[in-house]
Amino acid sequence: MNYEAVFWDIGGVILDLGSVRAGHRAFVGTLADEHELDREEALATWRDELGSHFSTREGTEFRSARVGYEHAVTAMVGHELPEEEWLPAFRRATRENLEPVAGTVAAIRRLETHVHQGIVSDIDTWEGEALLSQFGVADRLDAVTTSEEVDRTKPDPAMFETALEKAGVEPAAALMVGDRYENDMQGAARAGIDTVAFGGSASEATPDDPAVTYRVDDPLEIVDLVGIDDG
């Protein structure tokens, strides 16, 4: 089948999740040293606070990662810190540690000009834009839809409806590439979008699961699924 649009998740699809953990560890280590804290205890506090920030949200409401970072920093050092005292270090640590999924970057470049390419991600807009720019794909994408923009998280229909509106295509002409079963596979399938499971809980679905249209181990396989011939 020929598709007219491909929607990409960021975390786990474009962004290597292991590198996120490395970036957070580097940032927390820097802050811990500045405030004479035990690095491992500070990291545990950071993770607990962030986990609580996101896990206590109601339904698909959006919660800003930036606010979560602020809360986690406060919990680590024992008092509020002005943003200018921690955000530059956070940006530097993530910039130095975050890595893309190489196959996805290559696939985005191959699909450029052939189909509409959009982002559908639960990330904060500022963080998503920084990552896409760092990985050299920002200019190759046609649209970015974030939970901060929509004020909802996947699998809320509003996320996919917004992305489809930007693309100007019918749901049946679009593909959603994701690594989370409920958020990416089920959410997109309910919106009438075909899905591509790439890693994570999405790839753990049973072979006959109707929410998963395709499964890939290499994002470059998506070039063939879209039905283009660029060579």
Residue 230 has a pLDDT of: 57
Peptide bond into 157 cis (omega under 30): no
The number of residues making up the chain comes to 231
Residue with tokens 């807009």: 125
The two three-digit tokens of residue 166, written as one number: 């930007």
Superfamily of domain 5-16+99-226: HAD superfamily/HAD-like (3.40.50.1000)
Q: Could you tell me where the DSSP H helices lie in the chain?
A: 17-34, 39-55, 65-77, 87-97, 102-111, 125-134, 147-150, 157-167, 187-190, 221-226
CB 188 within 8 A of CB 178: yes
pLDDT along the chain (231 residues), means of 10: 92 97 97 97 97 94 96 96 96 96 97 96 96 97 98 98 98 98 98 98 95 97 85 52
